[in-house]
């Protein structure tokens, strides 16, 4: 994870460097033009006084002079000390020469505080700012909700997606309000906020998540699932699925290529937001790496990254199993499933039949030697406890280092919206018939307090979700 974030930072720095060079050239041209205008103005209107030395003197237009946000900088060993103009002092330990240069070029105190801030403090600041933005957005969104075409708001305050008779859980309504509240002053757009929301990926992800939940025949699971995910730091994907973790047991000694390919493919999508098919996996001096040009590469070419990832289920060293029964054939890139009828509805964290998953409590999910990031359709969840859930199918996306397993779902730079295209296409096949069969089977075994979805609603939801198919194909073809 750190390597990918460092590489992303390098790409961003290079992009910023190019922007800075362009800006520098533009400023030089602008300064030259202003100097020429200034000279013309001075010659025409100013008195001939060779002794004038007032540094604040400027031509009309009020030139702005840059004032450094600090009084002094000092670097002793690896401790950077910054004396601000108001006399306050901030320090950064484990500082580098690059940090010193960054401080030297800072234009605001905010830049200096951000530089001196620890990674932990920076993350806390990001979370605080995100929470504050969410609170403001919810307040603003309340007034806009009734204007959104997708919703019906009843007099008692309950909220429904149009065409679905099951009300939205309050926590999910708040998430929608957070997104809706970020839009303002859209009167100049013909379709206004409704058109904007159709292209908002987070908004569409929540809509699809709720639709998948409504197709889950175990209504109590579907109704409580978002709360459970929110409390346990799960993340939702673009097509409405969610990402979780579980442990497995490796059946092969050498998983280096499987680990590298699965990590690289998903992190390029989630962190870099790039097309993995533009990268090639190579090996030189025993080390695996990524290149974009193999023409002049001297070493062994393993293959195109996307093709390698798609071929993972057939790779000899991609073999894992569960720690409890040792009977499941688990492979990165291929769905793992068990009969739904063999799973139990339960609110217990442990000792209930089903395929277990978690987020923050990864050390509880089996005693395997390998952690995996997995993708789950809300329609296929059969039970949730306090920290763990159970489903009857999941898709292993990638192996992750044990020390990174829990951290990855908290990392704001890891964008899970990008991880589910191929699985979504598969899940749409025969969706309405599969969903209806599930409702029939479950209604014979359980009695729920929440009314089931009607057959007509199942068909309408399946039709709405099927719109993803063309969207995915259009996105893939445009890459």
Per-residue confidence (pLDDT) for residue 19, from 0 to 100 = 67
Mean pLDDT of the chain: 81
| DSSP H or E run through 220 | helix 219-231
Per-residue confidence (pLDDT) for residue 35, from 0 to 100 = 59
Label residue 366 left, alpha or beta by phi (over 0 means left) and psi (-120 to 50 means alpha): left
Per-residue confidence (pLDDT) for residue 475, from 0 to 100 = 60
β strands within 175-319, DSSP E: 235-236, 242-250, 280-284, 287-291, 300-304
Q: 130-139, 252-261, 438-447: which has the minimum mean pLDDT?
A: 438-447
* Neighbouring C-beta atoms of residue 159, cutoff 10 Å: 19
Dist CA 448 CA 219 (whole Å): 7
User: Does pLDDT of 144 surpass 60?
Assistant: yes
Dist CA 132 CA 465 (whole Å): 32
Structure-model confidence comparison of residues 276 and 346, the more confident one: 276
- Helical H runs in 68-118? 97-104, 109-116
CA dihedral 147, 153, 159, 163 (to 10 degrees): -80
Per-residue confidence (pLDDT) for residue 58, from 0 to 100 = 36
Residue 316, CA distances (Å) to 113, 254, 256, 260 in order: 51, 10, 12, 15
Distance of CA 418 to the CA centre of its chain: 7
User: Does pLDDT of 345 surpass 80?
Assistant: no
Per-residue confidence (pLDDT) for residue 53, from 0 to 100 = 31
Dist CA 403 CA 336 (whole Å): 24
Q: What letter would DSSP give residue 247? A: E
Dist CA 220 CA 230 (whole Å): 16
Locate 460 and state its tokens.
Answer: 């309408």
**Percentage of residues in the chain having pLDDT higher than 90:** 32
Q: 55-59, 277-281, 291-295, 423-427: which has the minimum mean pLDDT?
A: 55-59
Calculate mean pLDDT across residues 458-469: 89
Residues linked to residue 74 through DSSP beta bridges, in sequence order:
81
Calculate mean pLDDT across residues 66-94: 83
Residue 2, CA distances (Å) to 6, 117, 121, 271, 373 in order: 6, 18, 18, 11, 17
With beta carbons less than 8 A apart as the criterion, state whether 214 and 457 touch. Answer: yes
Tens digits of residue pLDDT in 377-418 = 999 999 998 888 999 999 999 999 877 887 888 887 888 888
Locate 39 and state its tokens.
Answer: 């000279």
User: Does pLDDT of 54 surpass 50?
Assistant: no
Closest CA to 375 of 479, 223, 266, 271: 266
* Banded pLDDT at 313 (limits 50, 70, 90): very high
Closest CA to 159 of 193, 207, 200, 205: 207
Per-residue confidence (pLDDT) for residue 56, from 0 to 100 = 35
Helices then strands, each counted (H, E), the chain: 15, 17
Calculate mean pLDDT across residues 256-270: 95
Would you kindly state where each structural domain of the chain is located, as residue ranges? 66-117, 124-199, 225-251+319-478, 256-314
- Using CB atoms within 10 A of its CB, is residue 412 exposed (0-12), middle (13-18) or buried (19+)? exposed
* Banded pLDDT at 122 (limits 50, 70, 90): low
Listing DSSP states for 387-432 in one string gives S-EEESEEEEEEEE-HHHHHHHTT-TTS-GGGS-HHHHHHHHTTHH
Dist CA 179 CA 160 (whole Å): 17
Per-residue confidence (pLDDT) for residue 160, from 0 to 100 = 92
User: Does pLDDT of 351 surpass 70?
Assistant: no
Per-residue confidence (pLDDT) for residue 470, from 0 to 100 = 79
Residue 244, CA distances (Å) to 121, 233, 273, 306, 472 in order: 26, 9, 20, 22, 22
Q: Which residues, in sequence order, are CB contacts of 378 under 8 Å at separation 6+?
A: 209, 212, 213, 216, 222, 225, 240, 241, 242
Per-residue confidence (pLDDT) for residue 314, from 0 to 100 = 95
Q: What letter would DSSP give residue 299? A: S
Dist CA 379 CA 376 (whole Å): 8
Distance of CA 411 to the CA centre of its chain: 8
Per-residue confidence (pLDDT) for residue 90, from 0 to 100 = 82
Helix, strand, coil shares of the chain, percent, nearest 5, are: 45, 15, 35
Secondary structure of residue 452 in the 3-state scheme = coil
Tens digits of residue pLDDT in 166-205 = 889 888 988 898 888 788 765 555 567 888 898 899 999 9
């Amino acid at each position: 994870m750190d390597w990918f974030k460092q590489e992303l930072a390098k790409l961003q720095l290079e992009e910023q460097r190019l922007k800075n060079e362009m800006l520098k050239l533009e400023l030089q041209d602008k300064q030259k033009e202003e100097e020429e205008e200034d000279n013309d103005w001075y010659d025409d209107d100013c008195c001939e006084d060779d002794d004038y030395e007032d540094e604040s003197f400027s031509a009309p237009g009020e030139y702005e002079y840059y004032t450094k946000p600090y009084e002094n900088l000092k670097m002793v060993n690896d401790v950077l000390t910054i004396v601000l103009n108001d006399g306050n002092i901030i320090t950064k330990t484990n500082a580098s020469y690059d940090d010193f240069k960054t401080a030297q070029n800072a234009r605001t105190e905010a830049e200096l505080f951000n530089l001196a801030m620890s990674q932990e403090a920076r993350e806390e600041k990001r979370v605080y700012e995100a929470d504050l933005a969410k609170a403001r957005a919810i307040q603003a969104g309340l007034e806009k909700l009734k204007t959104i075409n997708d919703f019906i708001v009843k007099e008692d305050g309950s909220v429904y997606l149009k065409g679905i008779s099951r009300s939205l859980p309050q926590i999910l309504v708040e998430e929608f309000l957070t997104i809706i509240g970020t839009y303002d002053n859209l009167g100049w757009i013909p379709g206004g906020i409704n058109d904007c929301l159709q292209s908002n990926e987070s908004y569409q992800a929540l809509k699809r998540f709720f639709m998948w939940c409504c197709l889950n025949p175990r209504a109590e699971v579907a109704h409580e699932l978002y709360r459970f995910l929110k409390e346990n730091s799960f993340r939702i994907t673009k097509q409405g699925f969610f990402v979780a973790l579980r442990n497995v047991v490796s059946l092969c000694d050498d998983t280096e290529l499987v680990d590298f390919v699965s990590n690289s493919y998903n992190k390029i999508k989630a962190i870099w937001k790039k097309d993995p098919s533009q990268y090639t996996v190579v090996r030189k001096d025993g080390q695996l790496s990524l290149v974009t040009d193999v023409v002049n590469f001297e070493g062994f070419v393993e293959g195109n990254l996307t093709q390698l990832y798609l071929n993972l289920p057939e790779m000899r060293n991609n073999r894992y199993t569960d720690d409890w029964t040792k009977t499941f054939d688990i492979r990165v890139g291929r769905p793992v499933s068990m009969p739904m009828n063999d799973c139990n509805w339960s609110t217990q964290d442990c000792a209930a039949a089903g395929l277990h998953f978690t987020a923050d409590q990864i050390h509880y999910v089996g005693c395997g030697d390998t952690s995996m990031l997995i993708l789950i359709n809300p329609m296929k969840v059969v039970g949730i406890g306090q920290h763990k859930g159970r489903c009857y199918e999941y898709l292993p996306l990638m192996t992750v280092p044990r020390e990174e397993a829990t951290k990855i779902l908290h990392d704001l730079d890891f964008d899970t919206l990008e991880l589910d295209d191929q699985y979504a296409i598969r899940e749409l096949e025969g969706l309405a018939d599969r969903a209806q069969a599930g409702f029939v089977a479950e209604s014979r075994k359980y009695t729920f307090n929440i009314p089931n979805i009607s057959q007509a609603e199942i068909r309408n939801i399946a039709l709405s979700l099927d719109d993803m198919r063309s969207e995915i194909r259009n996105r893939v073809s445009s890459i």
